C-alpha cells in the first residue's frame, strides 16, 4: 500500500502550517502515488513468506543461529528464545484441550487464525511451560473478543500495554503470583512474554510497521488476585463480581498506558484512605480527562484493602465513594480535554468551557477534599473524573506494604473462562503438581 506522509504532528502546527503542508507536501505525494506504477517488490528477508504447513521446518542450525534467524525475520523480540521444535510443540498440545489446528480466535490487525499449534510455538519461544497452555489459550480468546478492541489498542501511538489478571484455583495450582514482585515471577513473566509474541506474530503488531507506540510498548504482564486475602476480609474476587463461580478459573484482559505511580496511603482512617485513592484516580488517567473517561484498574495491596474492609467498605461501596470523590474543577477538566486530547476535535477553550459548565455532571459545592476551602470555594464547579462502570479493583501485591496503584487504559476489556483438558489431573500429577482440588477455596 502506498502512503502519503504528513511531516510531523499536525496537532502542534498552526492552521496556516497545516494548510501549507497539505498543499505543498501531502497532495503531491497523493498524485504521484496514484499516477505512477508500483515499484518492483524487493526480494530478501522483507518479502512476504508463503503460507507454510504447520509441521514444515523453517530453519535448521545451532542455538545461536536459530536465535539470529528468528530475530532477523522479526519473529522474536530480539531476546533469546527456545527453538519451537515439532517435538516441543506436540508436548505443549497435550495440555491444550483442543485439536492442534482448531481456531481459537482471529486476531486483528493481521486477522490470522490463532490455533493451539501457533499459540504453542510462541509459548515455547517465550520460555513458558506446557501446563501454561490453558491460561494462554484463554488469554488469546480474551484479546480476540471484539469487546477488547485489540485493533484499537494493539498498535496505538499511545503505547497501550495489555495486561492479564487471573482468578480461580488454576492460578494457585500453577503458581501464578499474586504477592510481592508478582509480575516479575517466572510463570507471570513467561505468560506475559508469550502474549507479547502472539501480538507480534499472530496479531501482526510489529515495531515501526503496525506497532506505533510513540515511546514503545511494554511487554504484556500478568498477575493473579490474592483470593485468600479477599476471603479473609470478606470481599469478592473480580471474576465472581463479573458473574463466575468462585472456583471457576478465568483470564481477564485489559490495557494500560503505563504502570502508574504508587499511592502510599499513610492513615488508619478508611475514609481518608479512600480519599487518597480518589486523588490517585483523578490524576492518573490515560488521556486528557474529558476525552474518553478512561477506565481505571485499581491495584490494592492486601493490607491496604484490610483497612478499608474493617472500615465497612465492600468493593461496591468503595467504588461508589471513589466516583463521588474523584472530581476536578470543570475549568481544569476542560483545559485538559481541549489541549491534551488526541487530535484537535474540540472547539475553542472558551466555547468548550461554556458547554461543559452546562453539563449536568458539572456541579457547585462538590470540591474534592484535597482542595482548600478558601473564600468562594462553594462557587467552584467540578466534574467527575470517572464513572461507576469505569473502576475495577484487584487485590494483589506485597501484603506487608501500604500500597495501591492506578492503571489507566483503553476502553476495551474482556474475561474468558479457562478450559482444561479432560485428563488435566493426570497430566499435572506427572508434571509434579498437587491436584487442582487442593487449591479450591471453600
Distance CA(404)–CA(300), nearest Å, equals 4
- Please name the residue that has the C-alpha cell 474540540: 346
Predicted pLDDT of residue 42: 45
List the strands of the sheet with 381-384, edge to edge: 327-329, 381-384, 363-364
Q: What is d(CA 162, CA 20) in angstroms, rounded to the nearest whole number?
A: 39
The side-by-side arrangement of strands in the sheet containing 391-395 is 262-263, 404-408, 296-300, 391-395
pTM of the full predicted structure? 0.89
Q: What is the mean pLDDT for each group of 10 consecutive residues in the chain (442 residues)?
A: 84 86 92 84 44 77 96 94 96 96 96 96 98 98 96 90 97 98 96 98 94 91 97 97 96 88 92 96 79 82 97 96 95 88 78 94 94 93 90 96 92 94 97 97 89
The full DSSP string for 101-147 is T---EEETTTTEEE-HHHHHHHHHHHT--GGGHHHHHHHHHHHHSGG
Cell, residue 123: 509459548
- DSSP structural state of residue 66: H
What's the pLDDT score for residue 46?
A: 43
User: Which parts of 147-228 are beta strand (E)?
Assistant: 161-167, 221-224
Q: How far apart are CA 100 and CA 117, in angstroms?
A: 5
Which of 113, 60, 120 lies closest to 87 in space, CA to CA?
120
User: What does the DSSP assignment read for 250-287?
Assistant: EEEEEEESS---EE----S-HHHHHHHHHHHHHH--SS
- Given the DSSP bridges, would you call strands 112-114 and 105-107 parallel, antiparallel or unpaired? antiparallel
State which H helix or E strand residue 89 sits in: helix 86-93
Take residue 321 and report the three cell numbers written for it.
465513594
pLDDT (0 to 100) of residue 337:
85
**pLDDT value, residue 290:** 58
pLDDT tens for residues 197-230? 999 999 999 999 999 998 999 999 999 999 999 9
Quote the CA–CA distance of 47 and 42 in Å, as a whole number: 7
CA dihedral sign of residues 313, 315, 317, 322: positive
Q: What pLDDT was estimated at residue 346?
A: 79
Domain spans of the chain?
61-257+414-442, 259-408
The span from the CA of 266 to the CA of 13, in Å, is 45
Pairing mode, if any, of strands 363-364 and 381-384?
antiparallel
Residues 293/390, Cβ–Cβ less than 8 Å: yes
Backbone torsion region of residue 149, taken as left when φ is above 0, otherwise alpha when ψ lies between -120 and 50, otherwise beta: left
CA geometry: angle 377, 382, 386, nearest 5 deg: 145
**How far is residue 214 from each of residues 114, 218, 294, 423, measured CA to CA in Å?**
27, 12, 19, 45
Amino acid at each position: 500500500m502506498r502512503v502519503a506522509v504528513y511531516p510531523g504532528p499536525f496537532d502542534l502546527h498552526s492552521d496556516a502550517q497545516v494548510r501549507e503542508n497539505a498543499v505543498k507536501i501531502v497532495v503531491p505525494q497523493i498524485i504521484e502515488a496514484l499516477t505512477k506504477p508500483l515499484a518492483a517488490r524487493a526480494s530478501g528477508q522483507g518479502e512476504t513468506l508463503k503460507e507454510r504447513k504447520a509441521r514444515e521446518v523453517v530453519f535448521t542450525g545451532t542455538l545461536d543461529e536459530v536465535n539470529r534467524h528468528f530475530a532477523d525475520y522479526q519473529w522474536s523480540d530480539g531476546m533469546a528464545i527456545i527453538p519451537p521444535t515439532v517435538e516441543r510443540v506436540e508436548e505443549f498440545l497435550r495440555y491444550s484441550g483442543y485439536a492442534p489446528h482448531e481456531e481459537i480466535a482471529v486476531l486483528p490487525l493481521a486477522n490470522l487464525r490463532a490455533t493451539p499449534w501457533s499459540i504453542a510455538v510462541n509459548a515455547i519461544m517465550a520460555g513458558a511451560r506446557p501446563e501454561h497452555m490453558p491460561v494462554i489459550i484463554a488469554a488469546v480468546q480474551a484479546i480476540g473478543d471484539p469487546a477488547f478492541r485489540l485493533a484499537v489498542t494493539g498498535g496505538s501511538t499511545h503505547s497501550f500495554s495489555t495486561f492479564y489478571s487471573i482468578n480461580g484455583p488454576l492460578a494457585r495450582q500453577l503458581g501464578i503470583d499474586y504477592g510481592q514482585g508478582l509480575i516479575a515471577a517466572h510463570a507471570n513473566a513467561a505468560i506475559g512474554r508469550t502474549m507479547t509474541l502472539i501480538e507480534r506474530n499472530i496479531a501482526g503488531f510489529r515495531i515501526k510497521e503496525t506497532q506505533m507506540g510513540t515511546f514503545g510498548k511494554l511487554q504484556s504482564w500478568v498477575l493473579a488476585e490474592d483470593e485468600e486475602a479477599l476471603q479473609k476480609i470478606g470481599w469478592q474476587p473480580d471474576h465472581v463480581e463479573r458473574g463466575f463461580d468462585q472456583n471457576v478459573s478465568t483470564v481477564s484482559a485489559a490495557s494500560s498506558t503505563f504502570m502508574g505511580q504508587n499511592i502510599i496511603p499513610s492513615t488508619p482512617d478508611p475514609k481518608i484512605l479512600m480519599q487518597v485513592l480518589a486523588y490517585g484516580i483523578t490524576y492518573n488517567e490515560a488521556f486528557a480527562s474529558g476525552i474518553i473517561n478512561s477506565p481505571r484498574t485499581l491495584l490494592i495491596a492486601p493490607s491496604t484493602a484490610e483497612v478499608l474492609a474493617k472500615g465497612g467498605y465492600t468493593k461496591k461501596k468503595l467504588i461508589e465513594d471513589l466516583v463521588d470523590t474523584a472530581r476536578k474543577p470543570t475549568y481544569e477538566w476542560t483545559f485538559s480535554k481541549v489541549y491534551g486530547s488526541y487530535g484537535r476535535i474540540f472547539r475553542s477553550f472558551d466555547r468548550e468551557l461554556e458547554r461543559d459548565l452546562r453539563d449536568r455532571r458539572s456541579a457547585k459545592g462538590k470540591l474534592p477534599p484535597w482542595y482548600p476551602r478558601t473564600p468562594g470555594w462553594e462557587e467552584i464547579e467540578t466534574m467527575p473524573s470517572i464513572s461507576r462502570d469505569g473502576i475495577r479493583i484487584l487485590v494483589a501485591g506485597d501484603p506487608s506494604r501500604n500500597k495501591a496503584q492506578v492503571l489507566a487504559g483503553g476502553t476495551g476489556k474482556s474475561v474468558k473462562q479457562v478450559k482444561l483438558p479432560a485428563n488435566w489431573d493426570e497430566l499435572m500429577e506427572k508434571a509434579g503438581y498437587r491436584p487442582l482440588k487442593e487449591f479450591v477455596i471453600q
